[in-house]
Amino acid sequence: EDQVTQSPEALRLQEGESSSLNCSYTVSGLRGLFWYRQDPGKGPEFLFTLYSAGEEKEKERLKATLTKKESFLHITAPKPEDSATYLCAVRIAGGTSYGKLTFGQGTILTVHP
């Protein structure tokens, strides 16, 4: 069964303290891995798509990387406004689930000033 596991469940950082969030997956035929940010009371907001192992993407203080088994979301010198829940999701190839995204449980990030 396809699985997506995110760790840690919650992460508390001081402003400026860099760290990484992990998303590990066991799927057959990965077609894409997505990172989203979700603020309280809001829907998930798209951040990145990664397609293949070795790929990296950056946006402001965030950098996403992908290997064959996991993805990391690196946060450099975070600010309090980076506090949110970060979700990763995978899309697999083939079958009627071709368009389906499977989400992880998310990592709740809190950045203290």
Binding site for another protein (CB under 8 A): 31-32, 34, 36, 41-46, 49, 51, 87, 89, 91, 96-106
* Backbone φ, ψ for residue 80 (5° rounding): -55, -30
Residue-level length of the chain: 113
CB under 8 Å to 82, separation ≥6 — which residues? 61, 75, 109, 111
In angstroms, the Cα distances linking 18 to 39, 42, 62, 90 are 20, 25, 10, 25
Whichever of 17 and 58 has its CB closer to another protein, that residue is 58
51 three-state secondary structure: coil
CB of residue 2 to another protein, shortest distance in Å? 12
Whichever of 25 and 36 has its CB closer to another protein, that residue is 36
Whichever of 14 and 96 has its CB closer to another protein, that residue is 96
CB of residue 100 to another protein, shortest distance in Å? 6
Whichever of 31 and 112 has its CB closer to another protein, that residue is 31
Question: Would you tell me how many other CB atoms lie within 10 Å of the CB of residue 104?
Answer: 21
CB of residue 28 to another protein, shortest distance in Å? 17
CB of residue 14 to another protein, shortest distance in Å? 27
